[in-house]
């Protein structure tokens, strides 16, 4: 059994951050140790707002110290980080990553660089974006940005698939071992599809799934993608297989959510797809030349 330390947000109601990630990873057979960066009543894109707080400075470090005291850090196989409540939490997370890798040099750091989209109601604290770009990027083994986050990480505007591949390879050249671009958006190769890109030193792969016509787009899809990709990798699937399984499982969740006319992701209803996804869409290997 693999063990994943998941450090991100938590909502009491609905599915975002750890509330979207922990159950799917456990359903895939992972032992998950959640640490919450914030605890909110609900995600921040409800018109009525939300209640809750970011965890105070020192909280993450103290929990890690407690894990060290009972000598379990060496059993941790991966650290997953997502939404941060403050830039200071980022420094604490990197200290956790260092402690885990000291105890288990084979452990991975999977960074989901959540930078927020104010126009959608997703807001991050001051300094978080700078932390992700300047401090998290040099340490991460795997990065999973969306298109806007990839633009920020690389300081470029991306409008085409070729440009997006070049930006992903910029991250690879900086030392990241794998880049998952979770949503290509305007850089997609086919309009009307949800496309993702997987960039590795061995090659680049493109995959797609249907876009569903939601009245309100569900929140937490990116958190789910990152969690499933990491869990599939930890379960022993090679990169492309993990990519295909992740895409299929996310499609099953989105289809179930759309059919239920729901705003929150229907993780329980679609849980069978986490461990046994029906792969209808295969990843396409792209030509090696970046044009």
Binding-site residue set for ATP: 112, 144, 149, 182
Token reading at 140: 């991460």
Let me know: does 32 contact 25? Beta carbons within 8 Å.
yes
d(CA 128, CA 147): 17
- C-alpha Rg value of the chain to the nearest Å: 18
Contacts of 69 (CB under 8 A, 6+ apart): none
Residues making up the binding site:
9, 44-45, 112, 144, 149, 182, 223
Let me know: does 106 contact 77? Beta carbons within 8 Å.
yes
Provide the Cα torsion 166, 133, 239, 84; round to 10°: -140
Residues making up the binding site for substrate:
9, 44-45, 223
DSSP 3-state assignment of 180? strand
DSSP string, 122-136: B---TTHHHHIIIII
d(CA 113, CA 132): 6
d(CA 107, CA 79): 8
Pairing of strands 193-200, 178-181: antiparallel
């Amino acid at each position: 059994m693999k063990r994943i330390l998941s450090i991100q947000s938590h909502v009491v109601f609905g599915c975002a951050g750890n509330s979207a990630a922990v159950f799917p990873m456990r359903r895939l057979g992972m032992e998950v140790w959640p640490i919450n960066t914030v605890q909110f009543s609900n995600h921040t894109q409800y018109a009525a707002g939300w209640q809750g707080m970011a965890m105070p400075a020192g909280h993450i470090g103290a929990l890690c110290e407690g894990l060290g005291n009972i000598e379990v850090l060496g059993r941790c196989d991966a650290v997953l980080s997502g939404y941060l409540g403050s830039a200071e939490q980022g420094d604490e997370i990197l200290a956790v990553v260092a402690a885990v890798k000291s105890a288990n040099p084979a452990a991975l750091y999977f960074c989901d660089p959540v930078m927020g989209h104010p126009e959608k109601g997703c807001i991050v604290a001051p300094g978080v974006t700078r932390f992700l770009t300047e401090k998290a990027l040099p340490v991460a083994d795997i990065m999973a940005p969306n298109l806007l986050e990839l633009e920020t990480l690389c300081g470029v505007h991306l409008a085409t698939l070729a440009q997006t591949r070049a930006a992903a390879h910029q991250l690879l050249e900086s030392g990241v071992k794998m880049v998952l671009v979770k949503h290509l958006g305007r850089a997609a190769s086919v309009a009307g599809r949800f496309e993702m890109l997987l960039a590795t030193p061995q090659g680049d792969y493109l995959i797609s799934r249907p876009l569903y016509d939601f009245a309100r787009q569900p929140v937490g899809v990116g958190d789910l993608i990152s969690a499933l990709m990491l869990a599939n990798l930890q379960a022993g699937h090679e990169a492309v297989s993990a990519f295909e399984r992740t895409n299929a499982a996310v499609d099953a969740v989105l289809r179930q959510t759309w059919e239920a006319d729901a705003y929150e992701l229907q993780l329980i209803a679609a849980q069978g797809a986490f461990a046994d996804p029906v792969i209808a869409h295969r990843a396409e290997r792209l030509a090696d030349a970046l044009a």
